[in-house]
Amino acid sequence: MKKYKLTKEQLLADLYQAYYAARKHKRNKPYQLRFEANLDNNIQNLCDELYNRTYKARPSTCFIINDPKKREVFAADFRDRIVHHLYYNYTHEIYERTFICDTYSCIKGRGTHYGINRLQQHIRKESQNYKIPCYALKMDIRGYFMHIDRDKLLQICLQTLKKMSMHKVSKHTNPKWIEVVDFEFVEYLTKEIVLLNPLENCRIEGSPSDWADLPHDKSLFNSPKGCGLPIGNLTSQLFSNIYLNILDQYVKRELKAKHYGRYVDDFYIVSSDKIKLHEYASKIKTMLLQELNLLFHEGKMLIISIKQGVEFLGAFIKPYRIYASRQTINRMRKKLPLLRNKPLTKIVSSLNSYCGVLSHGRNYKLQQRLFLMNLTDLYSMFKT
């Protein structure tokens, strides 16, 4: 069996592919236009650095956003985003093979709608189609991205890559991953991306007052030493799933919980046994602290009767029906009036997005009411 060795020519071609992915929805951004103005030289220089193992990420830009909620973002330099897409293209299928089917974020075909549908299916099965009482345990990790231990994450990533390298790419093909992916290069990239301290030489946009009412555990500036991943990076989304895959495997294989699902750090277990859910919560709390040094929000640990409804991923799930959550509705009410002065393309994009969200459940009358109140003259163009 021959190990695959990445050639410089192939790396260059892969970087162009990663560039096209990184620029998606960013075509008119100044940083993208600057990079594109000297595209071939920029890609070639990046290729040389990566191939010669001299690549170093540039400083990130830190700022605060308020939509959909207040959070701190560290935006990577555009060339580093290309490297993130390159890494994702090389590794995401390998990592995803180790995930359970109820890991929902940053996986093709497993977004918010998939997660909502899976929770509804779990509720139906456990309640025998709503014939017996059923409950949902909901838990949320405190300051998750800010408390990911980068050394621990690197260890998990390298162990996973080593284990999966000898697995077949597909059941229907003979090659193993080690024959089609340069694992030495991938391990080099893993170390460069995971161990990067996003605070180092970062540029701060905005004033200190922007951080004034941001919760303490929602800022990387307050993270323990060696901890924290920047929210906003593609690789951070991937790594967040890899890090909590330990939790997923524990819940499914050790606790034997049948009806479990997770979207980033927001997860649930559905059961007809309320006492068992309390036991699960206690064991998960201990496991997270011992294995990953993570804590969950005591105030956000809930055991909810299915009859009352369960809020998850912007939806409110009740027996036989799904509604948009109150948070989602309030966000739309706030943003819809602001669309009037936007370009038509922005209006089209936003309304189509809202229609997609509201179409997932019994929200047609709500959709009419929201749109007709704010955009009467345009609503007829986009109604579904």
| pLDDT of the residue at 351 | 64
What is the pLDDT confidence band of residue 379, given thresholds at 50, 70 and 90? Answer: low
Asked whether the beta carbons of 130 and 319 are under 8 A apart, the reply is yes
Between CA 379 and CA 384 the distance in angstroms is 10
Spell out the residues 6+ positions from residue 64 whose beta carbon is closer than 8 angstroms to its own. Answer: 70, 71, 72, 73, 206, 210, 211, 214
CB-neighbour burial class of residue 107 (10 A; exposed 0-12, middle 13-18, buried 19+): middle
Tell me the pLDDT of the chain averaged across its residues. 89
pTM of the model: 0.87
Cβ atoms within 10 A of the Cβ of 59, count? Answer: 15
pLDDT for 368 beyond 70: no
Q: 195 is written with which tokens?
A: 């161990």
Largest Cα–Cα distance in the chain? 66
Cβ atoms within 10 A of the Cβ of 355, count? Answer: 15
Q: What is the pLDDT of residues 219-272, one digit of tens each?
A: 999 999 999 999 889 999 999 999 999 999 999 999 999 999 999 999 999 999
pLDDT for 48 beyond 60: yes
The mean-pLDDT minimum among 226-235, 240-249, 295-304, 368-377 falls in 368-377
Average pLDDT score over residue span 174-201 = 95
Secondary structure (3-state) at 67: coil
pLDDT for 82 beyond 90: yes
Across 76-86, b (16+ Cβ under 10 Å) vs e yields bbbbbbbbbbb
Query: Residue 252 to residues 131, 150, 157, 184, 274: CA-CA distances in angstroms?
Result: 25, 25, 20, 32, 18
| pLDDT of the residue at 373 | 60
What is the pLDDT confidence band of residue 326, given thresholds at 50, 70 and 90? Answer: confident
Phi first, then psi, for residue 56 (nearest 5°) are -135, 135
Between CA 267 and CA 378 the distance in angstroms is 38
Between CA 85 and CA 17 the distance in angstroms is 9
Asked whether the beta carbons of 100 and 252 are under 8 A apart, the reply is yes
pLDDT for 346 beyond 70: no
Angle 259-264-270 (CA atoms, 0-180°, nearest 5)? 15
DSSP code string of 119-133: HHHHHHHHTTTTTS-
Between 329 and 318, name the one with better pLDDT. 318
Average pLDDT score over residue span 306-325 = 88
What is the Cα 201 distance to its own chain's centre? Answer: 25
| pLDDT of the residue at 51 | 98
pLDDT for 323 beyond 90: no
Average pLDDT score over residue span 96-116 = 93
Between CA 196 and CA 190 the distance in angstroms is 10
What is the residue type of 32? Q
DSSP code string of 178-190: GGTS-HHHHHHHH
Nearest to 242 by CA among 370, 100, 384: 100
% of the chain residues with pLDDT over 90: 72
What is the residue type of 300? K
Q: 112 is written with which tokens?
A: 């918010």
Query: Residue 265 to residues 76, 288, 331, 343: CA-CA distances in angstroms?
Result: 22, 12, 22, 36
